[in-house]
Amino acid sequence: MINFTATYTDQYQLSMAQVYFENGQKEHPAVFDYYFRKLPFDGGYAIFSGLEDLLEILENLKFSEEDLAYLKDQNYSEAFLDYLKNFKFSGNIMAAKEGDVLFPNRPILQVEATIIEAQLIETILLNLLNFQTLIATKASRMRLVAKDSVLLEFGLRRAHGPGGYYASRAAIVGGFDGTSNVVAGKNFDIPVSGTMAHSFIQSYDDEITAFRAFSQVRPKDCVLLVDTYDTLKSGLPNAIKIGKEMEVLGEKLAGIRLDSGDLAYLARESRKMLDDAGLNYVKIAASNQLDEYVIKSLLEQNAPIDIFGVGTNLVTGDPDAALDGVYKLTASNGIPRLKISESLSKVTIPHKKQVYRLMNAKGELIGADAITMREEEEVSRIYDPQEILKSLPVKSYKTEVLLHLVMKNGKRTEESRSLKEIAAYSRERLDSLPMEYKRFDNPHIYKVGISKMLKKEREKLMKKYKK
């Protein structure tokens, strides 16, 4: 459906690659970290999404004939174009498990490859992971408040063009149950669903004729949209009539959908009318500019809504336009590298690294991840990378390794995980995170610290660069 070639990148990646190539640096190894600095939605965590898509794309990434012809016209040298003709990504990738809960300023993924290869995949990596992680996080917030209600993603029409394809996938990672997006449903094996549009009802001379037509052709997934004329005076009485007609035919009306007005009030009145008519099995779906706050409010009011259909606010990540994920060089040609800044929060952390999650003896999270040098065996204390006076003794805690080798020499090390598996894993990880990190207002800040060895290395490099 959506095919990526290696020109899905920023032009400067190619320019820099050419310089490395012509300068005899093309085999220089490099290490890059992917991480973000700020949690989206002023929340306490993010949900990692997009990794499977990225790995699949990287395994097959190359420049097409058309790409090479185009680049030739862009004044790249013959020798460099020859290199690009045979370009493939042959590096290693260490990554968090897709679906895991993430926190700022720790490596989510590390790329080890020749500097040209590492650079040429930067844009597509950021493009896919930043977006899906944003949307999976947004979806998970709705899942948190919706508890066991059904959540359906309906956002394709307001998504950012084909970005909607990945939004549908990320919504599932974050806890949604289905999508309206047929192509995403097909390619990612997501349950697809939908009801009917106002135009459908308007195209008939009256509402009940429209309802009846639908119920006869699609009796198995008949959810009637009841607000075209008047929800309680027309939509509900007509839906009830159809529900009764369906019973006679041995079918069951699946649901009604409310799409305007006061959803709490209308849901309660609709429930009453349906129950009074003996249609207590008919579900109530609601839509119309929903987000996590509206869903929370509706359920706090005990609105009897079984299914929430969420569109724009989910697939765009509104009010956050983007996750600020970055891709930073931490070693090249065997030498650790640092990006310095006047603000300690923007100084990178050098070297190949590992990340550990810390737990108490019962296996419960204590609220801290530790970043270490890749080969460090034991960490007794972690240090805040920004507040130099803050540290935490961690010797007594159990640890879980967070970065796994997912790609070796350009090949995936494991079978791809299904979306269902990733979503289930994410649910489990989010469940194990204490509630104070998940609340919407002023969530607890999860600690991310660096080992003493890493701290020393960073300080040494900072001194060197400051000279």
**Strand order, beta sheet including 411-412:** 335-336, 326-332, 29-35, 109-114, 92-95, 404-408, 411-412
Stretch that binds a copy of itself, among 188-196, 267-275, 418-426, 445-453 (CB under 8 A): 188-196
- Residue 103 CB neighbours (<10 A): 22
Measure the CA–CA gap between 108 and 343, rounded to whole angstroms.
Answer: 22
Annotate 315-356 with three-state secondary structure: HCCCCCCCCCCEEEEEEECCEECCCCCCCHHHCCCCCCEEEE
- Establish if 91 lies at the interface with a copy of itself (CB under 8 A): no
* Shortest distance (Å) from residue 448 CB to a copy of itself: 22
Is residue 463 involved in binding a copy of itself (CB under 8 A)? no
- CB nearer to a copy of itself: pick between 196 and 365: 196
The residue among 117 and 369 lying less far from a copy of itself, judged by its C-beta, is: 117
Q: Does 114 bind a copy of itself (CB under 8 A)?
A: no
Establish if 49 lies at the interface with a copy of itself (CB under 8 A). no
Q: Bridge partners of 225?
A: 257
Nearer to a copy of itself, 70 or 414 (CB): 70
CA gap 116, 464 in Å, rounded: 26
Residue 29 sits in the site that holds a copy of itself (CB under 8 A): no
- Region near a copy of itself per CB under 8 A, out of 69-77, 246-254, 402-410, 415-423: 69-77
Contact 242, 224 (CB under 8 A): yes
338 interacts with a copy of itself by CB under 8 A: yes
Select the residue interacting with a copy of itself from 35, 41, 165, 437 (CB under 8 A): 165
Cα–Cα separations (whole angstroms), residue 124 to 5, 6, 264: 10, 9, 43
DSSP 223-249: EEE--SS-IIIIIHHHHHHHHHHHHHT
- Residue 394 touches a copy of itself, criterion: CB under 8 A: no
Nearer to a copy of itself, 14 or 39 (CB): 14
Residue for token pair 């050098």: 350
Q: Which is nearer to a copy of itself, 166 or 397 (CB)?
A: 166
Between 72 and 404, whose beta carbon lies closer to a copy of itself? 72
Interactions with a copy of itself, residue window 194-223 (CB under 8 A): 194-200, 202-203, 205, 213-214, 216-218, 220-221
Point out which span in 160-168, 264-272, 382-390, 415-423 binds a copy of itself (CB under 8 A). Answer: 160-168
Query: Binding to a copy of itself by residue 280, rule CB under 8 A?
Result: no
Does residue 131 interact with a copy of itself by CB under 8 A? Answer: yes
Residues 294-313 that bind a copy of itself (CB under 8 A): 312-313
- 15, amino acid identity: S
Q: Where do we find the tokens 């929800």?
A: 231
Is 150 a binding residue for a copy of itself by CB under 8 A? The answer is no
Does 288 sit near a copy of itself (CB under 8 A)?
Answer: no
Binding region for a copy of itself (CB under 8 A) out of 165-173, 374-382, 399-407, 409-417: 165-173
User: What is the DSSP-derived secondary structure letter of residue 42?
Assistant: G
42 binds a copy of itself (CB under 8 A): no
CA angle centred on 160, ends 49 and 14, rounded to 5°: 70
Check residue 27 for interaction with a copy of itself (CB under 8 A). Answer: no
Q: Does 15 bind a copy of itself (CB under 8 A)?
A: yes
Q: What is the nearest approach in angstroms of a copy of itself to the Cβ of residue 190? A: 11
Stretch that binds a copy of itself, among 66-74, 384-392, 397-405, 450-458 (CB under 8 A): 66-74
The distance from CA 386 to its chain's CA centroid, rounded to whole angstroms, is 27
Residue range at the interface with a copy of itself (CB under 8 A); choices 141-149, 317-325, 365-373, 380-388: 317-325
**What whole-number distance in Å separates Cα of residue 216 and Cα of residue 259?**
23
Residues 6+ apart with CB under 8 A from 301: 264
Minimal distance, residue 241 CB to a copy of itself, in Å: 18
Tell me the C-alpha to C-alpha distance, in Å, between residue 196 and each of 154, 258, 288.
12, 11, 14
Instruction: Tell me: does residue 251 bind a copy of itself (CB under 8 A).
Output: no
CA dist 4 and 125 (Å) reads 12
User: Alpha-carbon distance 91 to 27, whole Å?
Assistant: 11
Count of residues touching a copy of itself (by CB under 8 A): 101
Q: Report in angstroms how near the CB of residue 299 gets to a copy of itself at its nearest.
A: 24
